[in-house]
Amino acid sequence: MSRDPFESLRGSNPLPEDHPVHPPMAIAERILGGAPRRAWPAWALATGLAAAVLVGGGAWLLWIHGGPGEVVATSAATPTTGGAVTAAASTTTSAPILTGDAVVYFFISEEGSPSGPGPYLIPVAQSFSVLSHPVSDPVAETLSFLLAGPWPGVDREGPALSSYLPLGTRLLAITVADGIATVDLSSELEAAQGLAGRGALAQIVFTLTRFDAIEAVRVLIDGVPVTAALVAAPQEVADTAPLTRADFADELPAIMLESPAYWASSGDNPLVVTGTADVFEATVSLELLGQDGAVLWQGTTQASCGTGCRGDFSAEIPYEVAEGQFGTLVAWEASMEDGSRLYQRQHLVWLNASGDSGPPTAAEQLRQAIAEQMALRYDLDKALDSYLAELAAVDAQLVGLPLDQGTELRTRAAELDRQVAETRDGLSRVFDQLRALGVDFEIPCSGAAASPDLPDEPGLPAPVASLRRSIFEAARACDWQTLRGVMVESTFSYSFGESGDPVGFWQREEFLHYQPMLYIAGMLARPYGTVPGDVVTIFAWPSAQAYASWADVPQPEREALRPLYGDGDFASFAEFGGYLGYRVGFSWDGTRAVWIYAITGD
């Protein structure tokens, strides 16, 4: 056998490469149930479920769904339909908030026509509220709501809505001329083939033709007109002919409620109902139910055509409710045999109480959401402070305590650890949400607590000394702009597994009371070490990191780490074998000093 233990180490792999492991895809789906932190942060507010979605052009779309109404905020674009958009002054942000309903088309699976249970195309109101941004193009913005898909969580309140538009499909361009919209979408759309492709086109055509100025739609993929392959019935749709609603009549339920849309929040009274239907003798039965199921109105209306042809219908439904609520508009065909309900359709719609000016607007909810986050932050801040203080006290008592003593203290420390971690998780979510809402909020500056003294280090080359001073001052002032200016972001390292935005990372860390600026300023004021290299020398603060092992760090240099680190930390460094704390390093090639890292842990 080899004398080299490394070779026998190879042979003693606890889980060799051929150890069979099968990826549990159910776990993947459960992880996907959560949302990517930056691109799609999940909201969990006390009032209900909320989620954020990215829309075209890098805009944020934030949506809160809970109780009576929904809220959507976008960071950079204002989706709006031709419908009403109202502006309201915000009390918590400098920008006014715009609210409205964007109506897009999704598929719903329920009994809806003689040919089966669907899925059928229906209009869905994506209510939104935005911190005001320039309204660019209502058509494009509505399309971005369509591409974003049904809001996560909406299924909890009703039947599942689905979209055939592949996630990730982007709007590249849209023009409208002579009643024809030409919409260019990214190649992700090609993933929708056959019936799915046809469904996707139907969604686009219905969504766009809801605008008065648009009667037909040409769809391009990366500039190329969609081929017949994308539609199930090529003989019916010529390759480049603009598509109209008529091309997709078979995607509709027997009774199509066009207005109010599913989840409509306008709260009109009387409720103006319009739609199309292909029902026996053109008779459409309608009913409006309150939240408790009480019948508020019942009647029938005649479509312009029936028994084998699709006709338009409309009705005005007056109602009275004591308080605002989501009611249900129901439409059906009464069976000629027994009067039973056929092809029933139901839309949840907001009903205003008499005398109400409107539903609790999305804007109001947005303001509430911001206020809630601010209040939550206050509470979590307080809690975190007290946990951290107690943990420090407990840790101090544990230092030097024989291991067979202090069981209660150790238990308490573990409990506090957990509470600190949970509180930080909560704060981290608040941080994400405030960021996503575009709210200007205060970020604490731990650097202000650092001593203003920066001892001279005569041994440092002048550029290194000057860089040290700039970073020290910027850290004390939490001067993010200067910090950004003195680093090369692409090569700067600040925490493994992260990349790209050290300042954003530190702001979050400040928000979570990790006090990165205090530590950076504090480290720079302590003795430095050097790590010589072939090309560059690393100047490293504090000096402790320049030693191969904690045991090698001279006592005075250990003492210099106080009070940022104490006996408890020293014990953990000793256990680990090396300095584990914050560190800052510059590279020096004889002419230029470059700030290359500021790292916690590891």
Partner 1 sequence: MTAHGADATATAPEDRFRALFARHYPAVYRYVGRRLGSDDASDAAAETFAVAWRRIGRVPPEPDTLLWLYGVARRVVANAQRGRRRRDRLTQRAAGHAAPAGQDGDPAAALAALAALNPGDREVLRLAAWEGLGPGELGAVLGCSPNAAAIRLHRARRRLLAALDDTGDQP
Tell the smallest beta-carbon distance from residue 581 to partner 1 (Å).
14
Question: Which of 133, 218, 341, 410 touches partner 1 (CB under 8 A)?
Answer: 410
Cα 172 to Cα 182: distance, rounded to the nearest angstrom: 11
Question: Which of 51, 59, 256, 594 touches partner 1 (CB under 8 A)?
Answer: 59
- Regarding 504 and contact with partner 1 (CB under 8 A), the answer is no
Q: Which is nearer to partner 1, 222 or 316 (CB)?
A: 222
Question: Which of 549, 552, 589, 590 touches partner 1 (CB under 8 A)?
Answer: 549
- Regarding 21 and contact with partner 1 (CB under 8 A), the answer is yes
Q: List the structure tokens of 526.
A: 């302590």
Q: What is the DSSP string of 29-44?
A: HHHHHS--TTTSPEEE
Question: 100 with 90: CB under 8 angstroms?
Answer: no
Q: Which is nearer to partner 1, 223 or 601 (CB)?
A: 601
Task: Give residues with Cβ within 8 angstroms of 144, minimum separation 6.
Answer: 55, 56, 57, 59, 61, 77, 79, 171
Question: Which of 109, 182, 186, 530 touches partner 1 (CB under 8 A)?
Answer: 186
Q: Which residues of 475-506 are buried (b: 16+ CB within 10 A; e: fewer)?
A: bbbbbbeebeeebeeeebebbeeeeeebeebb
Tell the smallest beta-carbon distance from residue 544 to partner 1 (Å).
14
Q: Which is nearer to partner 1, 20 or 455 (CB)?
A: 20
Question: Which of 38, 469, 484, 562 touches partner 1 (CB under 8 A)?
Answer: 38
Question: 468 with 455: CB under 8 angstroms?
Answer: no
Q: Which is nearer to partner 1, 291 or 572 (CB)?
A: 572
Stretch that binds partner 1, among 12-20, 202-210, 433-441, 454-462 (CB under 8 A): 12-20
Q: Which is nearer to partner 1, 212 or 404 (CB)?
A: 404
Question: Which of 45, 52, 55, 108 touches partner 1 (CB under 8 A)?
Answer: 55
Instruction: With CA atoms as reference, report the closest residue to 62 among 70, 77, 51, 76.
Output: 51
Task: Give residues with Cβ within 8 angstroms of 299, minimum separation 6.
Answer: 285, 286, 287, 315, 317
Tell the smallest beta-carbon distance from residue 39 to partner 1 (Å).
6
Stretch that binds partner 1, among 92-100, 105-113, 213-221, 574-582 (CB under 8 A): 574-582
Q: Footprint of partner 1 on residues 108-127 (CB under 8 A)?
A: none
Question: Which of 37, 382, 469, 592 touches partner 1 (CB under 8 A)?
Answer: 37
Tell the smallest beta-carbon distance from residue 166 to partner 1 (Å).
6
Question: Which of 493, 505, 526, 600 touches partner 1 (CB under 8 A)?
Answer: 493
- Regarding 27 and contact with partner 1 (CB under 8 A), the answer is yes
Question: Which of 46, 177, 322, 403 touches partner 1 (CB under 8 A)?
Answer: 403
Question: Which of 3, 308, 532, 559 touches partner 1 (CB under 8 A)?
Answer: 3
Q: Long-range contacts for 33-41 (Cβ within 8 Å, ≥24 apart)?
A: 35/152, 37/432, 38/432, 41/429, 41/432, 41/433, 41/436
Cα 498 to Cα 110: distance, rounded to the nearest angstrom: 45
Tell the smallest beta-carbon distance from residue 484 to partner 1 (Å).
19
Residue 412-451 contact track with partner 1, rule CB under 8 A, x = bound: -xx--x----------------------------------
Beta bridge partners of 326: 350
Q: Which is nearer to partner 1, 196 or 454 (CB)?
A: 196
Which one-letter amino acid corresponds to residue 565?
Y
Instruction: With CA atoms as reference, report the closest residue to 301 among 329, 327, 275.
Output: 275
Q: What is the DSSP string of 482-508?
A: HHHHTB-TTT-BSSTT--S-HHHHHHH
Q: Which is nearer to partner 1, 343 or 494 (CB)?
A: 494
- Regarding 54 and contact with partner 1 (CB under 8 A), the answer is yes
In Å, how far are 262, 274, 355, 429, 443 from 509, measured between CA atoms? 42, 53, 48, 12, 10
Q: Which is nearer to partner 1, 282 or 546 (CB)?
A: 546
Place of tokens 């339909």: 81
Instruction: With CA atoms as reference, report the closest residue to 296 among 278, 263, 265, 273.
Output: 273
Residue 137-176 contact track with partner 1, rule CB under 8 A, x = bound: -----------------------------xxx-x------
Which one-letter amino acid corresponds to residue 180?
I
Query: Degrees (nearest 5) of the Cα angle 494, 495, 497?
Result: 130
Residue 309-348 contact track with partner 1, rule CB under 8 A, x = bound: ----------------------------------------
Q: Which is nearer to partner 1, 344 or 587 (CB)?
A: 587
- Regarding 371 and contact with partner 1 (CB under 8 A), the answer is no
Beta bridge partners of 101: 127
Residue 199-238 contact track with partner 1, rule CB under 8 A, x = bound: ----------------------------------------
DSSP state of 248: G
Question: 331 with 284: CB under 8 angstroms?
Answer: yes
- Regarding 578 and contact with partner 1 (CB under 8 A), the answer is yes
Cα 162 to Cα 149: distance, rounded to the nearest angstrom: 7
- Regarding 600 and contact with partner 1 (CB under 8 A), the answer is no
> Which segments within 41-119 are labelled E, that is strand?
42-45, 48-55, 59-65, 70-74, 86-88, 97-108
Residue 449-488 contact track with partner 1, rule CB under 8 A, x = bound: ----------------------------------------
Instruction: With CA atoms as reference, report the closest residue to 395 among 424, 420, 378.
Output: 420
- Regarding 500 and contact with partner 1 (CB under 8 A), the answer is yes
Cα 243 to Cα 551: distance, rounded to the nearest angstrom: 76
Provide the binding-site residues for partner 1, judged by CB under 8 A: 1-15, 17, 19-25, 27-28, 31-32, 34, 36-39, 54-59, 166-168, 170, 186, 188, 403-404, 410, 413-414, 417, 493, 496-500, 549, 572, 575-578, 601-602
